[in-house]
Chains A and B, each alone.
Chain A
Amino acid sequence: MTDSKVTERDFDLSRRSFIDRVLMATAAAGVAAAAPWASAAVAGEPKQADPVRLGVVGTGDRGRALIQNIAKTRNCAVAAICDTYAPHLDRARTLVGGGTRAFADYRAMLDAGGLDAVVIATPLDRHARHCLDAFDAGLHVWCEKAMARTIADCGAMVRRSQAARKVLQIGHQRMFHPTYLNALKRARAGEIGTLTQIRASWHRNNSWRRPVPADATDRQINWRLYRDSSAGLMTELATHQIQVGNWFFDAVPTRVMGSGSICFWKDGREVYDHVALIYDYTGGRKLIYTSLLNNARYGCEEQIQGSRGTIEPELGRFYQEVPPKVLALQRMQKDVARGHKRTVPIGGATWFPELPVTTPGESLGWGEYDETMLQFEGFGEAVRAGKPLPGLLAQAYHASVASLLGEQAMDSGEAMNWPTNLVAI
């Protein structure tokens, strides 16, 4: 469902411009190989007739946002919605056509048929069950990140998709975003030199706790705060940024060390409200990750740091390592401009204080269009072809494993090595 103020022509123009920017970013040498899913997703115009029929399981805030993005696509349609919590289902009904079937039981939705694929936006601990059942029902699956509550369940989802020969796609929208693809293009072209470190953070200043209506339980609404249903900051936020780290380093971590605590919001929650981790990669490279819930100054960002520059994709900025000006030579320039020649004092210290760079950097380009739409168009074409977008699932699987491994490192207080028994994709 599109905004009523946006005309069909406006929509076409903005969509075309978005796709064009993705095409431009993925056309560069090295990027097509590093982001093959994005190249595939924009390779052709999706067929509008006979849209791929999706059943959305979980119609909370995220599920309803997905429904709105699905409505923007040219090749997918929501054919059914499902939620065990009636108020969420009622709100979702307002976003879909009157003929869309609604279910309180996802098994009933699967049994009713008439679907090509299922979209899963339920609490994390239910992803695996819903996903496996969808495969067993002969359907393809699009699932919110993180994949599952345990590394074993992540592997089970991959295995079942392979056995059933069905598409399993996980929601990592940054992998389709022109700004990230442009950043990747410039990093691959060597513009920031050798990448040695990524600092990533997701800092907020709120409790992450939602009000609980009278007809619901705290664990039902605030499932992100409890261990049995979520790994908290790691699975709900860090997964995105760990995927970015793996993507830009073109590797998976070798090990992770971390410290987690419930440091500020001592309100009965079970998951950490402060996490700090170091993910090691081969060659001494590092992803340094922090997330917390009582300071928003540095927000959500990845700082991709190379020997010649830094890319900050969330800010959409590109910084080159430009040193401060030599004041004597700067003065010489001004003297020449006004026709005045005088002696240039030279030979001062070759060292200069190492203060943060405060220049605004160069824009990487940002658009207001939502990349989640492109994810679903790509998913729709993958479902039609019966073949997943290349490279996508491996990225998602490894990001989920890394986030859960980080939780284990914090819980145990020990460095955790990258598992050797992961499913091959």
Chain B
Amino acid sequence: MVPALAEVERFVAMGTRIELHRFGPGDADALAAARRAIEAVDDALTIHRPSMTTALNEKLMSGQDASIDDPVLFEALVAIDQAYSATLGLFDPAADRRFASVGWSDIIFDRATARIAATRPVAFDFGGIGKGIALDRACDALRSAGVGSACLSAGESSIAVIGDHPLGGGWPFAIPDPLQTGQMLVELELHDESLSISSAVGAGMLAPERAAMIRPGDGAVVMDARCAVAIDRQGARAEAMSTALIVSDDARAASLVGERPKHRFLFDLSHTAAMPAPAAGMQVQ
């Protein structure tokens, strides 16, 4: 097969480095459109500079309700609402170390009127799901621009691919063991899908200003040595699932992995010599 022409766009957004690789035909400004889509999500969902999200957080923290006018923020709240149910309440971007039991269950979100309120002070940190939404929107932009083959990365822990690999077939990826150099946790192929990796161990955890993983319900920081991988047609759902698996108890993790065992993986890295542990009746690896 003749290699396809390739283009790359690299930039910083969503608090990490973004790479957009496109192959083959499509509009000349496809990557620029995808970049704009990601930056628009960043502008709406960031909590590191004034945004629609910080404005919403200020209102919810002061006990006021709010109207959601921004389409990106609205889409994010809908995605959270769906992901909260799909992850058995484990994915909760409203969980907060400062207020132990606060979370999405304190939110009253009316999609029909696009209004939101909270029964207790609460603030959102969209973090990973924001990256998923950004990649979803970037994929939409690339598809609209006629791009049929692309690989998008947001900080290496969030990947989305469009169509087939430029040389045919799926996109092959391997997830390295964060604790054992040269060892792989899993190898897999993506087809028009998104991949999210969450880890509570590894070099990335030492990064300055790295946000801790919070367990919903008690607001505790997750200390278990785990790595979770989730694949989904939607990046937002993949992000929510990998985060949910990391903070999950064993029973709910087994339930979630069991629903789609070829698309959800949870690795217990507390005994690295035994990695990956056999399934042994539980779908937690």
Which residues of A are interface residues toward B (Cβ below 8 A)?
A: 194, 307-308, 320-326, 328-329, 332-333, 336-352
Contacts and interface: CB of A to CB of B under 8 A. Distances in A.
A340 B187 CA distance: 18
B175 A329 contact: no
Interface stretch (B60-68, B81-89, B149-157, B212-220): B149-157
A383 to B, nearest CB: 46
Interface of B: 1-4, 6, 8, 10-12, 16-19, 21, 23, 49, 151, 153, 155-157, 159, 165-169, 171-176, 178, 184, 187, 195, 197, 199, 202-204, 206-208, 210, 229
Contacts of B204: 348-351
B3 A338 contact: yes
Given A344-B171, A345-B176, A320 B17 contact: no
Contact of A347 (B151, B166, B176, B206): B176
A38 B4 CA distance: 49
B11 A329 contact: no
A324 to B, nearest CB: 7
Nearest to A340: B167
Contacts of A333: 6, 8, 21
Given A326-B153, A342-B172, A345-B184, A307 B49 contact: yes
A343 B174 contact: yes
From A194, A337, A338, A348, name the one whose CB has the most chain B CB atoms within 10 angstroms. Answer: A348
Contact of A344 (B166, B174, B178, B206): B174
A348 B202 CA distance: 8
A341 B171 CA distance: 9
A351 B207 contact: yes
Contacts of A326: 17, 19, 153, 156
A194 B49 contact: yes
B3 A321 contact: no
B68 to A, nearest CB: 24
B23 A336 contact: yes
A332 B165 CA distance: 10
B17 A344 contact: no
B3 A344 contact: no
Given A307-B49, A339-B3, A350 B155 contact: yes
A346 B210 contact: no
Given A349-B204, A351-B206, 11 more contacts: A321-B12, A323-B17, A332-B151, A333-B8, A336-B167, A345-B173, A346-B197, A348-B204, A350-B16, A350-B156, A350-B207
7 contacts: A194-B49, A336-B6, A336-B23, A339-B3, A346-B153, A350-B155, A350-B204
B11 to A, nearest CB: 6
A411 to B, nearest CB: 37
B173 A343 contact: yes
A329 B153 contact: yes
A348 B178 CA distance: 7
A336 B171 contact: no
Nearest to B229: A347
Given A307-B49, A348-B176, A320 B11 contact: yes
A342 to B, nearest CB: 7
A349 B202 contact: yes
Contact of B151 (A320, A329, A350): A329
B11 A339 contact: no
B239 to A, nearest CB: 13
A362 to B, nearest CB: 14
B17 A352 contact: yes
A325 B153 CA distance: 11
A344 B8 CA distance: 17
Nearest to B210: A351
A322 B202 CA distance: 25
B3 A343 contact: no
A349 B10 contact: no
Closest 5 CB pairs of A and B: A351-B207, A323-B17, A349-B204, A350-B155, A347-B197
A332 B2 CA distance: 15
A348 B199 CA distance: 10
B166 A336 contact: yes
B25 to A, nearest CB: 15
A333 B21 CA distance: 8
A337 B16 contact: no
B17 A346 contact: no
Given A344-B171, A351-B203, A323 B10 contact: yes
A366 B6 CA distance: 33
Nearest to B170: A341
A53 to B, nearest CB: 54
B197 A329 contact: no
A348 to B, nearest CB: 5
B252 to A, nearest CB: 23
Given A332-B21, A339-B167, A341-B165, A349 B174 contact: no
Contacts of A351: 203-204, 206-208, 210
A270 B229 CA distance: 67
B153 A343 contact: no
Contact of A329 (B2, B19, B166): B19
Contacts of B203: 348-349, 351
Contacts of A320: 11
Given A307-B49, A351-B207, A322 B10 contact: yes
A312 B30 CA distance: 30
A26 to B, nearest CB: 27
Contacts of B151: 329, 332
B1 to A, nearest CB: 7
B23 A347 contact: no
A345 B184 CA distance: 8
A337 B23 CA distance: 10
Contact of A343 (B187, B195, B206, B207): B187
Nearest to B23: A336
